[in-house]
């Protein structure tokens, strides 16, 4: 594909920054195709290249790609969180609002993974209601279950909401239910 041709051209020109950019581009393309293990490998190569060159600016996009790949693979959640927090701190300093929003979304996705909701609940006072919106639950694979329904079954201060509007196209109706 054209990204690999870009990588070869940059390697032939001995332009190490653009080699790193090309590797990250391949990683981002692989992530977009759902090939998260390959995306992770390419982004890790890119970040290593950026760091070797002292080109810190490039590392933040690579951190984002690595973290998103780790999240998708359900691996190393603490590393993913650290990378995302480092990226969002940098993006705030740059007033990069779109990048901040993308990073915040990735952090929210990480928090939703199984176990995170139970950990959040365990830190709440018993008189505090935890409401978990599962409007898109019908689109998830069984292995993406966040444990919220299970928690609602055994904890009186947990409410899980669902809706017909997403899966059945009834957005204007605002019809839903809770557990």
Nearest-5° angle of CA 15, CA 42, CA 106?
120
pTM > 0.75: yes or no: no
99 within 8 A of 63, measured Cβ to Cβ: no
Which range has the top average pLDDT, 32-46, 81-95, 151-165? 32-46
Contacts with 127 (C-beta within 8 Å, 6 or more apart), sequence order: 157
State how far the alpha carbon of 110 is from the alpha carbons of 78, 104, 177, in Å: 9, 10, 25
Strand duo 130-133 + 158-163: pairing: parallel
Number of other residues whose CB lies within 10 A of the CB of residue 60: 22
Taking only the tens place, the pLDDT of each residue in 98-148 is 888 788 778 777 777 656 778 778 877 888 888 888 877 777 777 677 778
Residue 6 to residue 139: CA distance in whole angstroms: 36
pLDDT band at 173; cut points 50, 70, 90: confident
What is the per-residue pLDDT for 11?
A: 87
Nearest to 135, CA basis, from 110, 112, 157: 112
24: its two tokens: 């990250």
């Amino acid at each position: 594909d054209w990204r690999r041709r870009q990588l070869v051209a940059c390697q032939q020109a001995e332009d190490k920054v653009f080699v790193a950019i090309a590797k990250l581009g391949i990683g981002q393309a692989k992530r977009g195709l759902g090939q998260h293990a390959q995306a992770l490998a390419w982004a890790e190569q890119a970040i290593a290249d950026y760091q070797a060159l002292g080109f810190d600016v490039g590392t933040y996009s690579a951190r984002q790609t690595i973290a998103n790949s780790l999240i998708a693979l359900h691996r190393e959640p603490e590393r993913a969180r650290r990378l995302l927090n480092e990226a969002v701190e940098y993006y705030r300093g740059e007033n990069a609002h779109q990048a901040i929003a993308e990073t915040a979304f990735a952090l929210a996705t990480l928090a939703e993974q199984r176990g995170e909701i139970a950990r959040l609940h365990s830190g709440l006072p018993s008189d505090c209601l935890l409401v978990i919106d599962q409007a898109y639950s019908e689109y998830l694979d069984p292995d993406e279950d966040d444990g919220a329904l299970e928690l609602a079954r055994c904890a009186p201060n947990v409410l899980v909401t669902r809706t017909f509007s997403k899966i059945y196209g009834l957005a204007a109706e605002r019809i839903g239910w809770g557990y």
